[in-house]
Structure 1
């Protein structure tokens, strides 16, 4: 215990002596000065070395920043080129879509025109077939009646329209017929108006009203029943026979 205390006192005394006498000793003894300087160099970098290391570090940071900016510029350039290609592709798709829509529109017009012509032809073909069947099988006479609605009674507000119906004459009985490939509720109502127009214009009484069609709308059938129109169609609730 006494030895430890003595050692501590010796170290303290040595430090005090160094602090007090070292500056003068370094001035007086160059070898001692060099020795002390070498000790400091081993443990602490000198100012020049530190500055050089800082400069090197700053230069490295600068180079990294330049490289990063260069890479960012290249990335931005590639991104811009990619965006431009996408824009060109989008514009191309837009033009292609417009061309497709224009082509589809032309096709729709052509198909509609073809359908209209075919509808007229098929309607006429069906009517002629039914007329031939009625005349040959049932021995009746079928006449096509056509006139002009000068006052616009059938097509209200549109004078000068043509009005057409088919007349079936059998043993003095006058039957007005509508022969169509398909019949809607509107067709039934129009047929009823044409019958009234015919009776008024020609002064002849219609004995029966019939509609002949392979396709009659369910609501159209209901209209036929309420208006006293007999219908002949290819459905389960058809009525048969003249």
Structure 2
């Protein structure tokens, strides 16, 4: 009986060693999978960002064509340097689309998604535009397929028109 118990003990010890090896292999596999998922997430995020930029650019061009051809507005891209960091919090180049007709100035921001911070930033762009050009915009418009609830609240508070689906 003792001999059989020793054999069983040896087999039990071998089984425990195998289980330890399997646990270590599973832990390594989990790490590998998590790294793979993180890499895939970064690639998908990069594709989404690129698609958003391409879609925004295409939409801006479509909007520009419509405004110019159908409504007779002149649409141009205004670029100015914000040496005091008023818009972004640090000195930087600032861009905004400007539509003009009969001396009326409309600033337009096109974005795939806006948050309240984007609305406040657009308002600062409009104020910088006025300071740099001496011309006060008559209307401020944001065109976006998606606006956060807080962004809609901020836009109402600041007198910015938002054209959105959601």
Q: By the TM > 0.5 criterion, same fold?
A: yes
- Alpha carbons 2:75, 2:100 under 8 Å: kept: yes
Q: Does 1:90 align with 2:23?
A: yes
Larger proportion of helix: 1
TM-score by length of 1: 0.64
Which of 124, 134, 139 is the matching residue for 2:72? 139
Based on CA coordinates, which of the two structures has the bigger radius of gyration?
A: 1
Offset at residue 232 of structure 1 (A)? 1.9
Of residues 78, 88, 108 in structure 2, which corresponds to 1:177?
Answer: 108
CA RMSD of aligned residues (A): 1.5
Is 2:83 the counterpart of 1:150? yes
* Kept in 2: contact 1:127–1:180 (CA 8 A): no
Q: Which runs of 5+ in 1 are unaligned?
A: 1-67, 236-242
Determine helix, strand or coil for the equivalent of 1:152.
Answer: coil
The 5-angstrom pairing of residues 22-33 of structure 1 reads none
Q: Going by fraction, where is strand more abundant, 1 or 2?
A: 2
Deviation, 1:174, is: 0.9
Contact 2:80 2:132 in 1 (8 A): no
Size of the aligned set, in residue pairs, is 166
1:186 aligns with 2:117: yes
Using the TM superposition, give the Cα deviation of residue 74 of structure 1 relative to its aligned residue in structure 2, in angstroms: 0.9
Identify which of structures 1 and 2 has the higher relative contact order when contacts are C-alpha pairs closer than 8 Å and 6+ apart. Answer: 2
Distance 2:147 2:37 in 1: 32
- 1:102 maps to 35
1:95-134 CA-partner distances (Å, limit 9, x unpaired):
2112111211221222222222222222212211211122
- Aligned to 1:206, the other structure's residue is in SS state coil
| Misfit runs of 4+, over 6 Å | none
| Aligned residues of 1:126 and 1:180 also touching (Cα < 8 A) | no
Specify the alignment match of 2:95 in structure 1. 164
Shift of 1:171: 1.2
Q: Secondary structure at the match of 2:75?
A: strand
